[in-house]
Chain A
Amino acid sequence: MSQPRVVVTGIGALSPIGVGKDAFWEGLLRGENGIREIQVMDTSKHRTHRGGEVRSFGILEDRWTAEEHRLGRASKLAIAASREAWNDSGLAGVKVPPRRIGVACGTTSGESQIFEEEVAEFLDRGHEGLNINRLEYFPVDVIGSSIARHLGVQGPVNTLTTACAAGNYAIGCAADLLRSGAVDVMIAGGADMFSQTAFTGFNSLLAVAPECCQPFDKLRRGMLVSEGAAMLTLETLPHAERRGSHIYAEVLACGISNDAHHMTAPHPEGLGAVTAMHNALRESGLKLEEIDYISAHGTGTPANDKVETLAIKKVFGARAYEIPMSSIKSMIGHTMGAASALEAVACAMAIQHRVIPPTINYRNPDPLCDLDYVPNEARNHPVTVALSNAFAFGGNCSTLILANHARH
């Protein structure tokens, strides 16, 4: 096959447990809980009051251009992560034709904060209350476009909105474009700011836990709404090797599927999840025994964790019990469109550092969730191949497989 291999050469991450990829990774290894009382909105009339927030924009804290200053929070989180990934990959000093560099960013709620502020004015005062100079930054294509504008790149720019699986969809889309030969470099990942709509909506579905996120625990009570961003620099292997770049991992495959079942509930047998994992495994050409670590979707809702466990058993059979599997959502909450991108970062770092981040808040075993969830403490474990699941509203399922590029 003449298609080039695709590798990760740069990482940027902003999360409730740390801003910057190293702070994020150290937080994961410490098993830090990033869930706090929510500051960004008044929760006094809501059922729950806790969530995850990002405390700074990291390397770009006060360095916005006048134009960027006007952007919404999701775009800023996305740009900050992209800038870190760009710098980390060492592309800043390299001449790559700008048309050979593209962007793929996933998001769930987009700039929902702008919408929430403007709709409050609109409901209060009618269209006299609307500020068009602010609304202009609401349509979600602003996120991908703002990253491209910030980096000055001219290749294909896509903003993908496949809800909570959007990060994986963006990484998969980017890998496909790289393999097709249309581009040499892609900045890909996901971003979401803390959305009042998501917080209120998931609460209305009674899907939010009051205190903490306890994936796979018998007493788990739901997800925690959160925010964050992660972007990865992806390149074709020849391009990365030619410039002597550091390589974190190889993107082996991104399998996607859809439950074709229900807008909010997962398929009871995990139909889409199983297909996504099968698609990814087939595309990677790997055997089941070669998977060393599973980064779970693991939201902490009763339904997800049960169905995901079931789906993994269907795919891996007896081997399922031997693969360590953790949910970093236990620490950072559900960062929506950023979640699977942050999980991809965790997988790349796990491959690099040979450590698996834990599932914290795990106390009570559930007979329906009986796999090895790496409870409460990070574990030294060589990871050559990592598989990362992300599932979403509307039945969208995705499985990303990352591997040590020098594994053979």
Chain B
Amino acid sequence: MTFIALIPLFPLIGFLINGLGYGKISKTAVPWIGTGASLLSFVCVLLAYLNFKETAIIVNLFDWISIAGLNVGFSFQLDQLSIIMLFVITGVGTLIHLYSAGYMSHDEGYGKFFAYLNLFLFSMILLVLGGNYLMMFIGWEGVGLCSYLLIGFWNKNTDYANAARKAFIMNRIGDVGFLIGIFLILQNFGTLEYLEVFEKAKAFHVGDGIIVAITMALFVGAMGKSAQIPLFTWLPDAMAGPTPVSALIHAATMVTSGIYMIVRSNVLYTLSPFTLEFIAWIGLATALLGATIGLFQNDIKKVLAYSTVSQLGYMFLGLGVMAYSSGLFHVITHAFFKALLFLGAGSVIHAMSDDQDIRNMGGLWSKIKITAITFLVGTIAISGIPPFSGFFSKDEILAHVFEHNKIMWALGMLGSFMTAFYMFRLFFVTFKGSFRGTEEQKHHLHESPKSMTTPLIVLAVLSAIGGFIGFPEVFHLPHRLNEFLSPIFENSRLVNSSFGVVHISHNLELILMGASVLVAVISILFAYMVFGNGKNVPVADSEVVGLKKLVYNKYYIDELYNKVFVGPISAISFFFANVIDKKLIDKIVNSVGEGVNFSSKKIKELQVGVTGSYILFMTLGILLLVLYQFGPSLLSTFNLLQNK
């Protein structure tokens, strides 16, 4: 099975060819190389899956870091979890490469773009295929770099370059948490290889402090990478990147790394209910925060970005209630429908001559039919209408949440309501009514080329039927995903008896399902009443007032961070450089130097030949000698006298 090393190798080769040959390779060859590398990788995943038999396969390519007491291999681990992730990454990845061939064809940095995309695939594959935590960290930081390069792809624009930098730095904050988690694992387990760590973890008790520390530290990493409160503000800004990047990196794959990490480490998290509870609340809060902001955004990509933040929150909510496979299920379906929605948005933007404001759109349904229909499929899927894919995964999460905590469930339903609303608002305002853009835009409206619509259609089909990999138990149909993933959670079952036990009766399950469908339908109707006729258009920015203004401006969280972190650090930097360094430390150093100078001058004066000063010093010297000799006895005599 050494050939699984080919899975990351193809994108790496693609990166090298398109990267080193940038400017020399013809424009027709570039997308073939890039997409081909991704496709070959997908084929390898398929072969690996077909040859896979239940037990994890470890391939150690070489010893990476070896010192006394620590040996980290450059190793891969192929198992059920990595196979699922690899399918999503290379599958959706290939479609997005194909789409980019059309979408980016007018860009001068065409070759560079494909090189970066391939480099991203390489890193992302390392992340999910690595056999130990340090391998995951290679991918973890690698995808961060690619995200930086791709957000800042049009870096002539300073805002875009700033967005790229912000993304990298916020991710790095998370990465430090991840690193600390790695150090803690090393301290307590002496190894970073997954299988060894999880084997040793079985010796710990539920709630052990060490495990809590490890899982919390690792989760900080997940907050950064998967845009959870408080490290989520980079993701909406990341929309500065070309739209295929938003679809691939900032919706389907990279941002779900945090979920992958937790599912991978499920035994550790199962051992730490405290961390799980924390994750559930963070996830829920992020889901609601993202959804509320999404209600009022007018940039088509921003709506989708906040929707992603919100959906990622749902995934963490699921993980937090130990519904690991449901969280992963939502990763898969979300990859389908969110990639579809982003690519659809890209197609709309393409048609709109690069305008992203939905207030300028309207009535696009008839103009770009394929885009519109596929976009509608994605919208239904995310809203949770059966039998579309989003329904199955979201419903599964919410069912587990209901069992865990009713309040959480109710809040989760509220989020569902908002999700369906902002998505259909987006859909109606964009596609219904009449066109509100300029004459020039109207003249230019056109459906996208085949290379772009084909991925849309494929993803629409997947969004529609993708949920069938996991039917709810009540239907007595197989849940293939759970069956396949089951071995991954073997250790969790061993360490915590409450793992995987379901108390919900089939009747209740049906009621919950009905409730969530009902909520979605009401929400859609509500959205239809407000925006369905296509005449009610969101107002201009200046007219947004009150509470709505607060939400529209994303609760001013960016401004808050600037006040609390960026500003003070700048001030401290100036203070250190100009006051402590120059006025304090360097002053002392210089005065020591001057002191030496000064005393040497003074000492010189001792020998200038003036008899008077000689006599003075001689007398002083004698006095000191006398004091030294007799001082103590004089003092004690004096004391004696006083006591009398």
Q: State whether these chains interact.
A: no
Which positions in A face B, CB cutoff 8 Å? none
